[in-house]
Amino acid sequence: MHFRAFAAAFVAVALLCAHFATQVLAHGDVTPQPIDTAGLDPLGDEWRKHNPYRDNATAISIGASGYNQNCARCHGLEAISGGLAPDLRLLDKGDAGDEWFMERIRNGAKKSDGTTIMPAFEGLISQEAMWAVRTYLESKFTEQ
Ligand code: HEC
């Protein structure tokens, strides 16, 4: 690995660890981080049913950073779950998994007593950002 890439990765991990330490106990009470989607085709107001960016390399890299900033604290670094929340590498690939992914990322999840266990991201990050995260996760897909 090039030193600069290594140094950047090291800093990213260090920052995430610091973040994790302060945020892990504050479930459901998380500040969404903006995701810059410059370089992706804009999608307009209508919600897409299927991932418009599938296999798009730009979407994978934008999605990777969007995931690490917004989802990793619960779903695990590099999408490898530490057991706090489901392992998102196992989500169905392709159209079959798109609908469930969008349902969860837009609406979040609550326990039956109404406690938020995953925040809703609709209105906080763009549709483009959501599909970029989906594209990243598909690139990490793992068989059960
Ligand atoms: C505060 C913790 C938390 C954060 C942050 C979070 N999630 Fe979740 N997520 C959960 C939990 C807990 C569940 C399981 C919900 C359930 O059991 O109904 C879940 C479920 C899901 C599911 C359904 C998984 C399945 O196997 O059914 C998807 C998809 C998902 N999350 C995507 C995301 C994405 C993408 C992000 C970031 C944009 C994110 N989550 C951020 C806690 C979180």
* Domains of the chain with CATH codes: 2-139 (1.10.760.10)
The predicted structure's pLDDT at residue 15: 52
85 CA to centre of ligand 1 in angstroms: 6
Low-confidence ranges of the chain (pLDDT < 70): 1-30
Which residue spans within the chain are E strands per DSSP?
109-110, 116-118
Residue 105: per-residue pLDDT: 98
79: CB partners within 8 A, 6+ apart? 67, 72, 87, 88, 89, 136, 137, 140
Question: Residue whose CA is closest, atom 13 of ligand 1?
Answer: 85
**Model-level pTM greater than 0.75?**
yes
Give SS3 for 120. Answer: coil
**Which residue is closest in CA terms to ligand 1's atom 29?**
101
pLDDT at 30 (0 to 100): 65
Q: What is the pLDDT of residue 25?
A: 43
Q: What is each CA distance from 70 to 79, 87, 109, in whole angstroms?
A: 11, 15, 15
The whole-angstrom separation of Cα 111 and Cα 100 is: 17
User: In this structure, how many other beta carbons lie within 10 angstroms of the beta carbon of residue 105?
Assistant: 22
The per-residue pLDDT for 10 is 58
What was the pLDDT predicted at 61? Answer: 98
